[in-house]
Amino acid sequence: MMTHPHPLIVDGDVRACGTCGTYRGWVVISLRDEVWLRCPAGHEQHEPRLDTAWYHRHSGPVTHRHDTYDDGLRDLGH
């Protein structure tokens, strides 16, 4: 998982949370060949237009792994 503080543009569109409308401050999660987005309010949604190849191009090197999903979110400040 990684943070994406700026607006996320997918296929020319600014991606907004489908629940609250937030469009910045994402946590981007790559999980089993899918990319998921989590807004600052904690709403999560699958983003089918992004894939693991996109994630790896934008995430940089893995610095460490976490035992749980919540540990990873905590480490990112969420």
3-state secondary structure of 78: coil
Q: What is the Cα–Cα distance from 52 to 43, expressed in whole angstroms? A: 20
The pTM of the full predicted model, rounded to 2 decimals, is 0.82
Confidence of residue 62 (pLDDT cuts 50, 70, 90): low
Strands (E), 1-78: 2-4, 9-10, 13-14, 26-31, 34-38, 44-46
Confidence of residue 78 (pLDDT cuts 50, 70, 90): low
Residue count of the chain? 78
Confidence of residue 23 (pLDDT cuts 50, 70, 90): very high
Q: Which residues contact 12 (CB under 8 A, 6 or more apart)?
A: none
